[in-house]
Structure 1
Amino acid sequence: MGSRHTYYHVLYVGMINIMMFVPYFLIKERFHGAVMGMLIALAIGSVLSLTSMACYEHFPGLGFPELCDMYFPRWLTITINMYGALLTWLPAGAIVIYSYSETVRMFFYPEMNPFINLLLMAGAAVWASSRSTRTVQYVHEIMIIIFSPLLIMFLMKAIFNPGMDWHAIRYVSGYISRPPSFITIAAGSFLFSGFMSLIVFNRFHQQGFRFRFRWIVPLFATFFLAVTFFVPIGFHGTEAVEDYVYLWSMTADSMVMEYGFINRVLFVFLLIFTGVSLLFIMNTWHIAILLIRHSMNRFSSVEEAPASPINLWFALAAAALSFLYMRFINVERNQMVSEVWLITRFFNEIVFVLIMLYFVWKKRKEGSTQ
């Protein structure tokens, strides 16, 4: 696995934030410190991601669970892994699969039973997340190569659209001196969260591996964060932008394309994000499955072939929890859950990076005593 695969993870998280939770919280605080919050988030996210990548370079071929086994007692390893699986990665997939299945249903077939659409997405996610880590990585790369050029084209079309009101963007940018709320910092830093995939995918790296071009990470995040926040303001204005529940879907529907039989950008936009959403769910559930398996002493390898049946059972359990989530949730409650999750994830990432720094310190200490 080359460094490009880690950057793929950063890229798809940057893409998924456009459709999901981040724009809502940033737009809501656009006059109350969102711009400053994004700048702080870029600084914190850059430090966390680059520090984490530097730490994993010291442990090629080892994932986070294996490192916990090396330096922590078994009970603490189980506690940390189960906490990460059940409170970070598993909820992430459930929130996204609900959010996107509802978005697609509302725009394409609002009269359809919401559980049927969820069943279609959950079925694909169960199959994908239960494969071996090697298969998940290959699927990940293929989907990124297919969808990212289309998405970049769409974003460029939005940025250079004649209807873009740059005066509205400059007006909101003028609020840069306002102190930010904590949720804007937590939401903005989510764009860097792709680096957390190293918890499992660092197992692919060989001895002597080094991350090249790591400056790409803050570059990706800065681009997607700016586009996420400013483009809807440029399309809908400083006040009206807050009136939309499905903000980026309405932004996409404000554009047209002159390419063959495709006229409405919305159709292409939702098709792209169907793939990106499934990619996000596949990765988050796969990481959750492997962390739970490690806690149960059911260890896995990246080349596991065929994939263990226990992967499928855990993936089915994750899908069942998603149905349960839809049963008791609505759009407003989902936004509340997303806010809690974003804040929890922010602190979890800091804790995981601090743990990795501890592992590096322990390794150097052991090396100096030999």
Structure 2
Amino acid sequence: MFRYTYYHVLYVGLINIMMFVPSILIRERFTGAILGMLIAIVIGSVMALSMMVCFEHFPGLGLPEICDLYLPKWLTTFNCLLASIFIWLPAGVIVVYSYSETIRMFFYPDMNPYMNLLLMAGAAAWASSRSTRTVQFINEITTIVSSPVIFIILMKAIFGPNLNWDAIRYVSGYIKEPPSFLTVASATFLFSGYMSLTIFNRLHTEGFKFRFRWLVPLFGTLFLSVTFFVPIGFHGTVGVEKFVYLWSMTADSMVLEYGFINRVLYVFLLIFTGLSLLFVMNTWHISILLIRYALNRSVTVEEVPVPQINIWLALAAGVISFAYMFAINMERNEIVSTVWLVARFFMEIVFLTLMLYFAWRRKKEKACV
């Protein structure tokens, strides 16, 4: 069962382009992005591995149930609502808006943007309202189907003739520049897949252990390096800053010579449609279950039929997406994403601190038995 956690690490690392992480790093490529990424790799890896070790002490329990063991109920309720409303729900809203606009601009710019959002938000809302075990199975299927194509595209980009390694080496020379806090905070997002354990740890049985933990820093480091350096290699040290849809234009700079497939852009957007919906499904599902736990503390991993409250909360998330599109544009969306990345970083530190305390209490309890 531990393999499911690595699926979350994988798709979160890939979806960082929709949270504008590469754009933030590119803006600071001469002013500390390199050192900031190195610091983020260390911080992100330590936080991810520490959280995974802590959750091993509580098989079958999500973070809300663990909080109930050691904290007052009002504080558990506050934590659940805070994380749901300000972290998990906005993450899905930002990504579904960002990707619906991206795919509309490249595929059918004359289409009504609300119609495109309806298709994506509707699919994500329906999927997020399913049971936790069903959502986990969807994660596995989508990740296994998408990953090989993504790695082919990445290998094509890295080893293709159009990548200018001199531009990459030039930017790498700014390693001594001190990074900003925003650089470090945003770069750690690529390691944040472990936060899915907040809910999905309920699926782990007694005695489970995470094996191959080295995959977490490996995935994070790989995706962070690729999403930052590849656009620089394709567009140059100066030209890379001029693109709004950075990675979409980077994909459009590549060509696949495999049968009827020529432009990488179409394959890229198709694959990331699935990954974006996967991310939104998971963030809204976690948000729904956190709200439900705060309301009545009665949540199980298998629920047949699906409770009506799941459907209503999922529909509410979809409606919020429409309100967000009405009030925002791509420039403001990038600002909101930046604020969310910083807020997420602080929230992860708080939750890690809580989990370290809970794990210490659990070990102390076992020692006294």
Superposed pair shares fold, TM > 0.5: yes
Which deviates more from structure 2 when the two are superposed, residues 305-314 or residues 236-245? 305-314
Matches of 1:190 and 1:20 in 2, distance apart?
9
Q: Is the contact made by 1:19 and 1:273 (CA closer than 8 Å) also made in structure 2?
A: no
Unpaired runs of 5+ in structure 1?
Answer: none
Matches of 1:6 and 1:220 in 2, distance apart?
12
For 2:152, the equivalent position in structure 1 comes to 153
Indicate how the Cα distance of structure 1 residues 342 and 20 shifts in structure 2: closer, same or farther if over 3 A, else same: closer
Q: Is the contact made by 1:172 and 1:238 (CA closer than 8 Å) also made in structure 2?
A: yes
For 2:161, the equivalent position in structure 1 comes to 162
For 2:234, the equivalent position in structure 1 comes to 235
Q: Is the contact made by 2:19 and 2:337 (CA closer than 8 Å) also made in structure 1?
A: no
Q: Is the contact made by 1:27 and 1:241 (CA closer than 8 Å) also made in structure 2?
A: yes
1:92 is aligned to 2:86: no
Q: Is the contact made by 1:101 and 1:117 (CA closer than 8 Å) also made in structure 2?
A: yes
For 1:220, the equivalent position in structure 2 comes to 219
For 2:132, the equivalent position in structure 1 comes to 133
For 1:116, the equivalent position in structure 2 comes to 115
Report how far residue 364 of structure 1 moved: 2.4
Matches of 1:98 and 1:279 in 2, distance apart?
14
Matches of 1:16 and 1:299 in 2, distance apart?
31
| Aligned partner letter, 2:314 | A
Tell me the secondary structure at the aligned position of residue 175 of structure 2. Answer: helix
Report how far residue 361 of structure 1 moved: 1.6
Task: Give the total of aligned pairs.
Answer: 369
Matches of 1:367 and 1:209 in 2, distance apart?
17
1:321 is aligned to 2:320: yes
Matches of 1:118 and 1:206 in 2, distance apart?
38
For 1:7, the equivalent position in structure 2 comes to 6
Q: Is the contact made by 1:10 and 1:193 (CA closer than 8 Å) also made in structure 2?
A: yes
Tell me the secondary structure at the aligned position of residue 61 of structure 1. Answer: coil
Q: Deviations over 1:261-303 (max 9, x none)?
A: 1111100000000000000000000000000000001521111
Q: Is the contact made by 2:18 and 2:95 (CA closer than 8 Å) also made in structure 1?
A: no
For 2:247, the equivalent position in structure 1 comes to 248
Matches of 1:55 and 1:72 in 2, distance apart?
17
Tell me the secondary structure at the aligned position of residue 168 of structure 2. Answer: helix
Q: Deviations over 1:115-168 (max 9, x none)?
A: 010000011001100000000000110000000100000010011110110000
Matches of 1:226 and 1:369 in 2, distance apart?
46
For 2:199, the equivalent position in structure 1 comes to 200
Matches of 2:133 and 2:330 in 1, distance apart?
35
1:283 is aligned to 2:277: no
Q: Is the contact made by 2:168 and 2:229 (CA closer than 8 Å) also made in structure 1?
A: yes
Q: Is the contact made by 1:18 and 1:224 (CA closer than 8 Å) also made in structure 2?
A: no
| Aligned partner letter, 2:194 | F
CA RMSD of aligned residues (A): 0.8
For 1:189, the equivalent position in structure 2 comes to 188
Matches of 1:165 and 1:104 in 2, distance apart?
27
Report how far residue 68 of structure 1 moved: 1.0
Matches of 1:301 and 1:34 in 2, distance apart?
43
Unpaired runs of 5+ in structure 2?
Answer: none
Q: Deviations over 1:18-71 (max 9, x none)?
A: 344111100010000000000000000011000000000001111101011111
Matches of 1:341 and 1:50 in 2, distance apart?
23
| Aligned partner letter, 1:321 | I
1:367 is aligned to 2:336: no
Report how far residue 368 of structure 1 moved: 3.6
What is the TM-score when the length of structure 1 is the normalising length? 0.99
Q: Is the contact made by 1:129 and 1:285 (CA closer than 8 Å) also made in structure 2?
A: yes
Q: Deviations over 1:182-230 (max 9, x none)?
A: 1110111000110000010111111111100000000000000000000
